[in-house]
């Protein structure tokens, strides 16, 4: 129980720092280098690079509006001459943050509901007898429903579908090669609600003709968001005509990094472009295509034209952050720096007190236990001893002053108090006589003869 009592009482003790200057050059140099590193980190990285004195907001509110312009003329064996405008090749046509531009297509015209042979390219549609074509079963990854008959001439099952089914080959050239000169108008509005800051990537000018004659240039026309398709693809490191054959996916990133401590005009958009559907190695999965149909009616009923279109998908992504001076993050950054400085002092203390040959010497100088009551008692004992010594000295002086004995009597009195074997020879009171005596030490040591004589 006594041990636990000492433990709990020890928890009530208070520890305070003691400043000890250790003249150790190695530790001193190490500590100063650490301080310089911390100061460089706080000033260079925290305040200059990361702007740790600012309050940040990354919850950007944004809106994107897109418009495409351009026409292209195609001539195919199925449809002949066809003029393509933005209403034909832009999907969806209303201008959103993600849109698709047709650059190539395969057309299957005049499809009607009926019975026809499945394509041999579909593995589940192949057969050798009627038993391989279960009636009412859908062809997996095919075009219709099996009727139970196997067509020997094609080696495939008969199906109920939109006939004739699509028979297409992978294209080798883009039909809409002129799409390279199409233009995209990307209007972007951003807002940082915390700071009530709003801006657009379109130049604020009263000149209505500016957007009709400008084209984006990073140096000359930063606030003209009209881009040529061929330029967009080339900025990703690809060739437009090559991508237009089988399609692809392009990412357009608009970055807003605004320092609101500076002027309004210093908050500018930064554009970057990348191809999203292809990695470092060309893959068979690269490209972009899908199918859609256009339906018509005549006296024989409904028919349709099926299109398998290839093209470029554009994904517009908006990122942004804004910062403005605030005293709270500034104090937090400074406090973090001070804490790092304290960590350096702690590390140097550990090295000095526990990892050196002279650590025990520094520990004795560093740590000291102070008990106020013990110090007060010790101080009182010191005062009491001093007073006793002061009282004893006057008493001895007074006794010596009151004594009337002569010096010879005093010496005789002092000697008489000694043991007999330690007394010297007795000197007769008659000073005129001579006296001689032998002084001998107890034991077998040599004897000395002393002669006293009176002085005239």
Residue 404 in tokens: 């009337």
CA distance 174 to 184: 20
Per-residue b or e along 406-428, where b marks 16 or more CB atoms closer than 10 Å to that residue's CB: eeeeeeeeeeeeeeeeeeeeeee
CA distance 135 to 148: 4
In 3D space, the residue among 320, 285, 317, 274 whose CA is nearest the CA of residue 98 turns out to be 317
CA distance 277 to 183: 22
290 a known binding residue?
Answer: yes
CA distance 175 to 184: 20
CA distance 124 to 145: 11
67 a known binding residue?
Answer: yes
CA 412, 418, 424, 425 dihedral sign is positive
183 a known binding residue?
Answer: yes
Cα separation of the two ends of the chain: 85
68 a known binding residue?
Answer: yes
Torsion on CA atoms 69, 203, 214, 94, rounded to nearest 10: 0
Secondary structure, 3-state, 59-101:
CCEEEEEEEEECCEEEEECCCEEEEECHHHHEECCCCCCEEEE
Instruction: Render 109-160 in DSSP notation, one character per residue.
Output: EEEEEEEEEPPTT-GGGB-SSGGGS-TTPBPTTSSSEEEEEEETTTTEEEEE
In 3D space, the residue among 262, 63, 89, 253 whose CA is nearest the CA of residue 174 turns out to be 89
CA distance 339 to 44: 17
324 a known binding residue?
Answer: no
Residue 70 in tokens: 């351009």
As annotated, the binding site includes: 67-69, 183, 289-291, 308
As annotated, the binding site for ATP includes: 67-69, 183, 289-291, 308
């Amino acid at each position: 129980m006594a041990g636990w009592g000492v433990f709990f009482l020890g928890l009530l003790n208070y520890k305070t720092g003691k400043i000890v200057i250790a003249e150790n050059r190695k530790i001193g140099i190490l500590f100063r280098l650490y301080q310089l590193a911390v100061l460089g980190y706080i000033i260079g990285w925290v305040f200059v690079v990361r702007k740790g004195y600012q309050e940040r907001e990354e919850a950007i509110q944004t809106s994107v509006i897109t418009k495409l312009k351009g026409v292209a003329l195609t001539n195919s064996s199925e449809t002949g001459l066809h003029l393509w405008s933005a209403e034909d090749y832009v999907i969806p046509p209303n201008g959103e943050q993600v849109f698709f531009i047709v650059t190539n297509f395969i057309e299957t015209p005049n499809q009607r509901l009926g019975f026809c042979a499945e394509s041999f390219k579909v593995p589940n549609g192949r057969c050798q007898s009627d038993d391989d074509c279960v009636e009412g079963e859908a062809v997996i990854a095919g075009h219709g429903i099996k009727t139970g008959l196997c067509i020997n001439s094609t080696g495939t099952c008969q199906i109920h579908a939109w006939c004739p089914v699509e028979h297409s080959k992978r294209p080798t050239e883009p039909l809409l090669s002129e799409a390279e000169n199409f233009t995209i108008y990307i209007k972007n509005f951003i807002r940082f609600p915390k700071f009530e800051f709003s801006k657009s990537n379109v130049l604020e000018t009263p000149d209505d003709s500016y957007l009709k004659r400008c084209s984006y240039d990073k140096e000359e026309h930063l606030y003209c968001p009209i881009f040529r398709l061929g330029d967009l693809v080339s900025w990703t490191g690809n060739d437009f005509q090559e991508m237009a054959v089988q399609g692809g996916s392009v990412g357009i990133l608009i970055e807003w990094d605004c320092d609101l401590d500076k002027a309004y005009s210093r908050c500018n958009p930064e554009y970057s472009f990348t191809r999203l559907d292809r990695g470092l190695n060309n893959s068979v999965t690269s490209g972009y295509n899908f199918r859609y149909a256009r339906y018509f009616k005549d006296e024989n009923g409904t028919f349709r034209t099926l299109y398998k279109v290839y093209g470029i998908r554009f994904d517009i992504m908006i990122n942004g952050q804004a910062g403005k001076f605030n005293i709270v993050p500034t104090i937090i950054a400074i406090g973090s720096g001070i804490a790092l400085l304290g960590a350096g002092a702690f590390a140097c203390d550990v090295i000095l007190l526990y990892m050196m040959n002279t650590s025990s010497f520094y520990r004795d100088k560093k740590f000291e236990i102070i008990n106020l009551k013990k110090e007060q008692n010790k101080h009182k004992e010191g005062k009491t001893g001093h007073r006793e010594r002061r009282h004893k000295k006057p008493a001895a002086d007074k006794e010596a002053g009151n004594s009337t004995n002569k010096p010879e009597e005093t010496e005789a009195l002092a000697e008489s108090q000694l043991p007999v074997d330690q007394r010297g020879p007795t000197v007769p009171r008659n000073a005129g006589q001579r006296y001689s005596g032998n002084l001998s030490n107890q034991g077998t040591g040599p004897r000395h003869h002393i002669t006293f004589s009176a002085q005239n």
